Amino acid sequence: MLNKIFKLQENQTSVKTELLAGVTTFITMCYIIFVNPGILSAAGVPFEAATTATALGAALMCVCMGLVTNRPLALASGMGLNAVLAFSVIGVHQAKVPWQVGMAVIFVEGVIIFILVMTGLREAVMNAIPLNLKRAIGVGIGLFITLIGLNEGGIIRPAPITLMTLGDLSQKYVWVTLIGVVAILAFMSLRVKGDILWGILTAAAAALVLKITDVPATFMDSPSFETFFAPFQQVDGTIALARIFTPALLTAVFAIMLTDFFDTMGTVVAVGEQAGFVDKDGRVPGIKGILAVDSLAAATGGLFGASSITTYIESAAGVAEGGRTGLTAIVVGILFAVASFFAPVVKMIGGGHRITNAVQYSLFGDANFAVPPDVIPPPGAGDHTVYPITACALIVVGFLMIKIVREIDWDSFEESFPAFLAMVLIPLTYNISYGIGFGFISYTLIKIFHRKFREVHPLMYIVSLAFLIAFILPYVMA
């Protein structure tokens, strides 16, 4: 029956492979269950309710993606967008607007993107993007994932002149990451099925031995639904949704929508390239269904109080394990649903290790690294959480994703320079959309300089202009 529903034989996979891929994807992204509530709670969102919303929101949308699209794409609350929502839109401790109004902003941007999908505009934009740029986005995201893994595992750290250098190898959490990487490489070399998953489990065992993580004292938590239907909750006698019609909040809707729009595009193309369901023209068959579910996920995130839910690049970990159908996504969804009741167990593997005895500061956005005590940190330095167990998987998955770099036409300046910018700026700005934006703008400008106006799709002009406005707008507003 499962073979008929998910076309397993047609996609050259099996139930066992899909289950393994689903477990692997879940383990590499389940950290969001703990990270997201921590970020949202800083803006006044109830922590326990944010945990429930994060887990169940991801569960629902993963199942929807699996059933509607039959693709191995998992979804959860987006990192980066949650920080923008908490610290920019809402403000720490609700200094700007109530958290319910912030969730209404997310809800509205998700609805708008869904309308764009249903009218075909979002798919048209994706199809208008040059193939080399699409490939570059995949490479850039691969480098981005690797950087995140090196960051979370403590293998790199900031340096006052060179910006970054080798991490402190005396730290136990760094050794956990290194053990995980070596284990994955060993299992890959021995052609052991499930090499990434076994590597993660090896890292978890090392973390227990080195006392980086502990067996939880309790195994279950009761779910809380306090944040559900946040946009329709009463705030000072008014429905939260009715309070977003101010210039500042409508600008926030536009900015978050733009990020959501292109983050998903980059993720789908990158994972699709790895999974083999991108055609020779760089298009993803059935993309409209994928984008529809993703846009509804954003709206659902606002509705549940979990911030914007989006397609996760960690889906590539499951694809690397052989996941090719929606069964992988459904397995991830089921595990998220189970995790909402067994959060302490999930935290033992996917949760972070708190560092409290080192001077730290932020090098990449919200990514902190331990630094030597003689380095003077900037304002805002503090404790930091690392994720050494899952970091090893991210490093290897990043490697697997950059292999498509050889497909880029490096002999054509018009194609290769924009691709180069997108590749390097995605990891270096720690933002997928920024890298894509600079790639688009440079591609359009170079074609204009060469008087090849007709080679640029009309939508590329529109999108490039939108990115340019998004980059300039903060300075104009200031």
Length of the chain counted residue by residue: 478
Mean pLDDT of 161-173: 87
pLDDT in tens, 181-194: 999 999 989 987 67
DSSP 275-321: HT-S-TTS--TTHHHHHHHHHHHHHHHHHHTS--EEE-TTHHHHHHT
Number of domains in the chain: 2
Mean pLDDT of 152-156: 86
Q: Is residue 251 part of a domain?
A: yes
What letter represents residue 220's amino acid? M
Same domain, 395 and 409: no
Same domain, 384 and 454: no
Residue with tokens 């994720």: 387
Mean pLDDT of 43-56: 89
Q: Is residue 1 part of a domain?
A: no
Same domain, 121 and 213: yes
Question: Residue 372, CB half-sphere, CA atoms under 13 Å: how many?
Answer: 9
pLDDT band at 388 (very low <50, low <70, confident <90, very high): confident
Residue in 280, 278, 258, 260 with CA at minimum distance from that of residue 270: 278
Same domain, 327 and 470: no
Same domain, 382 and 424: no
Residue in 275, 291, 243, 276 with CA at minimum distance from that of residue 124: 291
Q: Is residue 3 part of a domain?
A: no
Q: Is residue 17 part of a domain?
A: yes
Domain boundary among 402, 427, 448: 402
Cα–Cα dist 377/285, whole Å = 48
Mean pLDDT of 4-25: 90
Same domain, 188 and 318: yes
Q: Give backbone dihedrals phi and psi of 386, rounded to 5 degrees, phi first.
A: -110, 160
Residues 6+ apart with CB under 8 A from 467: 258, 436, 437, 438, 440, 441
Same domain, 30 and 51: yes
Domain boundary among 402, 431, 449: 402
Q: Pick the more confident residue, 277 or 122.
A: 277
Q: Is the pLDDT of residue 359 over 50?
A: no
8 Å CB contact between 72 and 329:
yes
Torsion on CA atoms 168, 171, 173, 174, rounded to nearest 10? 30
As a whole-number percent, the residues of the chain with pLDDT over 70 amount to 89
pLDDT of residue 352: 63
Helix (H, G, I), strand (E, B) or coil at 153: coil
Distance (Å) of CA 74 to CA 197, 206, 265, 302, 400: 16, 27, 14, 18, 18
Q: Is residue 357 part of a domain?
A: yes
Cα–Cα dist 460/126, whole Å = 9
Same domain, 189 and 313: yes
Tokens representing residue 111 in the block: 């609805």
Residues 6+ apart with CB under 8 A from 305: 40, 45, 49, 50, 53, 99, 100, 103, 226, 227, 228, 230
Tokens representing residue 452 in the block: 């090849």
Q: Is the pLDDT of residue 255 over 90?
A: no
Tokens representing residue 349 in the block: 């593997």
Q: Pick the more confident residue, 287 or 368.
A: 287
Q: Is the pLDDT of residue 406 over 60?
A: yes
Mean pLDDT over the full length of the chain: 83
Same domain, 110 and 254: yes
pLDDT band at 325 (very low <50, low <70, confident <90, very high): very high
Query: Which of 84-98, 234-248, 432-446 is predicted least confidently?
Result: 84-98
pLDDT of residue 93: 43
Domain boundary among 402, 436, 451: 402
8 Å CB contact between 248 and 91:
no
Q: Is residue 4 part of a domain?
A: no
Q: Pick the more confident residue, 157 or 373.
A: 157
pLDDT of residue 347: 61
Same domain, 214 and 156: yes
Same domain, 140 and 289: yes
Cα–Cα dist 179/203, whole Å = 6
Q: Which residue range is the domain that position 409 belongs to?
A: 404-477
Helix ranges restricted to H, 129-236 = 131-152, 172-189, 195-209
Residue with tokens 């790199």: 156
Q: Pick the more confident residue, 57 or 212.
A: 57
Q: Is the pLDDT of residue 472 over 50?
A: yes
Q: Is residue 385 part of a domain?
A: yes
Q: Pick the more confident residue, 252 or 150.
A: 150
Residue in 209, 156, 207, 157 with CA at minimum distance from that of residue 180: 207
Cα–Cα dist 161/154, whole Å = 19
Q: Is residue 395 part of a domain?
A: yes
Same domain, 62 and 130: yes
Mean pLDDT of 369-374: 40
pLDDT of residue 407: 87
Mean pLDDT of 208-226: 83
Torsion on CA atoms 450, 280, 21, 143, rounded to nearest 10? -20
Tokens representing residue 42 in the block: 């800083």
Tokens representing residue 92 in the block: 């720490």
8 Å CB contact between 154 and 167:
yes
Q: Is the pLDDT of residue 237 over 70?
A: yes
pTM of the entire predicted model:
0.70
Residue with tokens 């990891």: 427
